């Protein structure tokens, strides 16, 4: 992780976020180590740490002295310093969970719902969130984050076809979410949320530049560049599902033909009616082309596969790493595989959605909540 701080005054919320992230990824850690890692002065880090401690988000621990002198105190995330509600809306159903500051899913709910309308979805969300609020395991609630399928705000592409959801155009999602949860709310597309969840609680501790391939009903993804999701001008960068794979191939609801996700997605797998092993064998060349494209475009340390697909399918796709085509990533001095399966990928988007709320809460807009 190499996120760097900024010395501009306007960068303070960002600095709080990266200091918290550094503690989360590297704790127990000292103020000096954090400062070196994020490029801020020790004094600035100490000021931020004091705020985080006052808000109950981090803890100081002092190790037993081993020799002469007192070792510097170290900082860790206070897992019970608060909970956020992560919500993941998919074309198959809705999940909601209480997530603590360490990223542990403390309690969760799931409702099956095929392509829910906004009214159906927000009714279910209201129910689930009120159940989670009543949980005896719940601590201070920081907010709620919602991950939902993209792409966002592309007139002709948004929410069309079997891989996304219909009836969600022109819906004020933030306002509906706030009304359903009665909490500070944040939204993100599911690929970016999953990539963020993976960054904080998964491979982010190992890699800072990787592409997260989001294998869902459709196919999407996001590039983590220096630990930050590359968003593009409108937040849709990395939307790999609609790149052309087969000239004049199968028609796609986006209006084009031969899009990658017509062949490589959970929807494609289900339409094909094969066993997992048969299907993975069949799509292997297509999958390897996709990886070659991603590698040549982004030059990632690795490609992490996750998403809504069953873990067994994700694991089998990851085995196709043997036999990948040549690309800029096929270097001899690699220390990690070119493709790895996300662990616990089913929870990545939920955790990422919860993390949105934690970070959002660190911004000045909500800062007054924690003033003592």
Those residues with Cβ within 8 angstroms of residue 150's Cβ, 6 or more apart along the chain or in another chain: 158, 164, 189, 190, 191, 192, 220, 235, 236, 239
Cβ proximity to Zn ion, 9 vs 155, nearer residue: 155
Half-sphere exposure of 215 (CA within 13 A, CB side): 28
Cβ proximity to Zn ion, 188 vs 267, nearer residue: 267
Site membership for Zn ion, residue 157 (CB under 5 A)? no
Site membership for Zn ion, residue 320 (CB under 5 A)? no
Site membership for Zn ion, residue 340 (CB under 5 A)? no
Q: How far is the CB of 219 from Zn ion (least distance, A)?
A: 10
Give the closest residue to 216 by CA, choosing from 247, 195, 245.
195
Site membership for Zn ion, residue 88 (CB under 5 A)? no
Cβ proximity to Zn ion, 5 vs 161, nearer residue: 161
Distance (Å, whole) CA 105 – CA 113: 22
Q: How far is the CB of 170 from Zn ion (least distance, A)?
A: 22
Cβ proximity to Zn ion, 254 vs 362, nearer residue: 254
Sequence-ordered strand ranges (E) for 135-218:
141-148, 185-189, 210-215
Distance (Å, whole) CA 103 – CA 352: 9
Cβ proximity to Zn ion, 252 vs 313, nearer residue: 252
Give the closest residue to 37 by CA, choosing from 47, 26, 24.
26
Q: How far is the CB of 242 from Zn ion (least distance, A)?
A: 4
Site membership for Zn ion, residue 200 (CB under 5 A)? no
Q: Name the β-bridge partners of 223.
A: 211
Binding mask 2-31 for Zn ion (x = CB under 5 A): ------------------------------
How far CA 213 is from CA of 166, 178, 232, 250, 302, in Å, comes to: 23, 30, 16, 22, 10
Q: How far is the CB of 315 from Zn ion (least distance, A)?
A: 27
Site membership for Zn ion, residue 264 (CB under 5 A)? no
Q: How far is the CB of 171 from Zn ion (least distance, A)?
A: 22
Query: What part of residues 204-263 is at the interface with Zn ion (CB under 5 A)?
Result: 242, 252, 254, 256, 259
* Omega before residue 151 within 30° of 0, cis: yes
Cβ proximity to Zn ion, 222 vs 259, nearer residue: 259
Q: How many residues bind Zn ion (CB under 5 A)?
A: 5
Cβ proximity to Zn ion, 1 vs 252, nearer residue: 252
Give the closest residue to 151 by CA, choosing from 199, 216, 220.
220
Q: How far is the CB of 344 from Zn ion (least distance, A)?
A: 29
Q: How far is the CB of 256 from Zn ion (least distance, A)?
A: 5
Tokens of 359: 């970070």
Question: By the criterion CB under 5 A, which residues form the site for Zn ion?
Answer: 242, 252, 254, 256, 259
């Amino acid at each position: 992780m190499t996120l760097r701080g900024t010395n501009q005054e306007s960068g303070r919320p960002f600095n709080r976020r990266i200091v918290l992230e550094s503690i989360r990824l590297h704790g127990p850690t000292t103020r000096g180590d954090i400062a070196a890692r994020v490029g801020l002065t020790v004094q600035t880090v100490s000021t931020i740490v004091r705020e985080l401690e006052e808000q109950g988000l981090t803890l100081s621990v002092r190790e037993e002295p081993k020799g002469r002198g007192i070792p510097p105190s170290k900082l860790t995330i206070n897992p019970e310093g608060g909970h956020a509600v992560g919500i993941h809306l998919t074309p198959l159903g809705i999940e909601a969970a209480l997530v603590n500051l360490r990223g542990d899913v403390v309690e969760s709910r799931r409702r099956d719902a095929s392509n829910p309308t906004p009214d159906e979805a927000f009714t279910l969300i209201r129910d689930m969130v009120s159940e989670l609020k009543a949980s005896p395991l719940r601590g201070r609630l920081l907010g709620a984050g919602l991950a939902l399928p993209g792409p966002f705000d592309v007139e002709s592409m948004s929410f069309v076809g079997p891989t996304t959801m219909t009836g969600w155009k022109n819906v004020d999602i933030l306002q509906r979410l706030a009304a359903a949860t009665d909490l500070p709310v944040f939204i993100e597309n599911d690929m970016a949320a999953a990539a963020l969840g993976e960054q904080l609680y998964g491979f982010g501790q190992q890699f800072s530049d990787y592409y997260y391939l989001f294998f869902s009903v459709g196919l999407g993804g996001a590039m983590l560049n220096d630990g930050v999701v590359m968003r593009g001008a409108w937040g849709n960068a990395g939307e790999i599902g609609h790149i052309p794979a087969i000239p004049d191939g199968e028609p796609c609801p986006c209006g084009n033909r031969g899009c990658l996700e017509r062949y490589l997605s959970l929807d494609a797998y289900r339409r094909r009616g094969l066993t997992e092993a048969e299907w993975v064998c069949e799509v292997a060349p297509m999958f390897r082309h996709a990886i070659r494209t991603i590698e040549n475009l982004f030059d990632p340390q690795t490609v992490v596969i996750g998403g809504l697909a069953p873990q067994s399918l994700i694991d089998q796709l990851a085995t196709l790493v043997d036999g990948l085509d040549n690309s800029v990533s096929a270097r001899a001095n690699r220390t990690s595989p070119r493709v790895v399966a996300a662990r616990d990928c089913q929870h990545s988007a939920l955790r990422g959605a919860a993390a949105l709320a934690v970070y959002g809460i660190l911004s000045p807009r909500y800062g007054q909540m924690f003033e003592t």
